[in-house]
Copies of this chain bind each other. A is one copy, B any other.
Amino acid sequence: MRVLAFLDGTLADPDQPHIRVDDLGLMRGDGIFETVLVADGVPRELGPHLDRLARSAAMLDLPEPDRAAWERVAQIVIDNWRGSPELALKLVYTRGIEGDPEARPTGFALGMEIDEKVKRARAEGIAAITLERGIEPDLAARAPWLLLGAKSLSYAVNMAGVREAARRGAADVIFTATDGSVLEGPTSNVILARGRTLYTPPPAIGILPGTTQRAVFRAAERAGWATKIEPLTVEELDKADGLFLSSSVRKLTRVHTLDGNRLPDSTGLHAELAQAYDAEYART
């Protein structure tokens, strides 16, 4: 089941072609996206996702996204969804047709079923590997043209990281900076638990500010946890009481094995945090 709607509100058949070959989103990976989890008809963190879409647009010098139009098109997809109770809602916004003098961006929302593999990972946890990302933690601030921390469509490296993980018998990646500090996953943020405190690295080091990470922190704080946003080193990952990857569709996924080493059992911690996170969206 897939539901497609364009930014003007038009529903369209996702099995038909709708994009020109000279769309810069295709030709140059020149565009941005967000993936929103929709559960029981309710989009989670839509506001923060649209905030981040606007932030990515500014970083890529794209026209400011029309927030009301994006809210409308998200709702159109949700209203027309006849699939599972949960769906992944992808929002895509490209620079449009190459050489178009009016420079109209292409925008659409696509509702998709959530992969069984993702659901299994949520329940069972995953093995991850660390991979060098080759950047210094202060690079993002001094070189904005590298688009570090923008959620652009240019995700070939992120996908190559996941394939490298598969080659090494793992499901996902934690990228590291040249000084050994922890960055992010290819499509997730890193959250670490030590005692009753959750940690995640600061976006200023060139990573995406996580919408789900923020929601998990909010939920954990409500449940009595402390939270800290501060640089983390690879060494700290091994010694944590719990290591998690957060993203909209995977929610909070437990890392049970890192670089081939089994980590301390965090099943109980994960259950507690995952429940606190889901409770944020419980209907009253």
Q: Which of A113-167 contact B (CB under 8 A)?
A: 115, 131-136, 139, 142-147, 150, 152-161, 163-164
Which residues from B are CB-within-8-Å of A178? Answer: 136
Which residues from B are CB-within-8-Å of A144? Answer: 160, 164
Per-position contact with B for A6-28: 1 when CB-CB < 8 Å, else 0? 00000000111111111111111
Contact assessment for A134 and B146 in the assembled complex, using a CB-CB cutoff below 8 Å: yes
With both chains docked as a complex, state the minimum distance between the C-beta of A122 and any C-beta of chain B, in angstroms.
19
| Across the A-B interface, the 4 shortest Cβ-Cβ residue pairs | A29-B29, A154-B154, A154-B156, A19-B19
**Taking the complex as formed, is A61 at the interface, i.e. its CB lies under 8 A from any CB of chain B?**
yes
Which residues from B are CB-within-8-Å of A59? Answer: 160
**Taking the complex as formed, is A237 at the interface, i.e. its CB lies under 8 A from any CB of chain B?**
no
With both chains docked as a complex, state the minimum distance between the C-beta of A180 and any C-beta of chain B, in angstroms.
14
Which residues from B are CB-within-8-Å of A205? Answer: none
Per-position contact with B for A163-188: 1 when CB-CB < 8 Å, else 0? 11000000000000010000000000
Contact assessment for B26 and A19 in the assembled complex, using a CB-CB cutoff below 8 Å: yes
Q: Which A residues form the contact surface with B (CB < 8 A)?
A: 2, 4, 14-31, 33, 59-61, 90, 92, 94, 99, 108, 110, 112, 115, 131-136, 139, 142-147, 150, 152-161, 163-164, 178
Which residues from B are CB-within-8-Å of A139? Answer: 132, 134
Assembly CA distance A59 to B157 (angstroms): 11
Main secondary structure of the interface of A (DSSP, over half): mixed
Contacts A134-B143, A135-B135 hold; do A155 and B19 have CB atoms under 8 A apart?
A: no
Q: Known pairs A132-B139, A153-B154. 15 more at Cβ < 8 A?
A: A4-B21, A18-B19, A19-B26, A21-B110, A23-B26, A26-B94, A27-B90, A28-B153, A28-B155, A29-B29, A29-B152, A131-B145, A132-B142, A135-B135, A146-B157
Assembly CA distance A24 to B133 (angstroms): 22
Assembly CA distance A164 to B23 (angstroms): 21
Contact assessment for A19 and B16 in the assembled complex, using a CB-CB cutoff below 8 Å: no
Q: Among the interface residues A61, A132, A146, A147, which one has the most CB atoms of the partner chain B within 10 A?
A: A146
Contacts A18-B17, A18-B21 hold; do A28 and B145 have CB atoms under 8 A apart?
A: no
Contact assessment for A153 and B152 in the assembled complex, using a CB-CB cutoff below 8 Å: no
Chain B residue nearest to A148 in the complex (CB): B134
Q: Which of B20, B143, B155, B161 contacts A29 (CB 8 A)?
A: B155
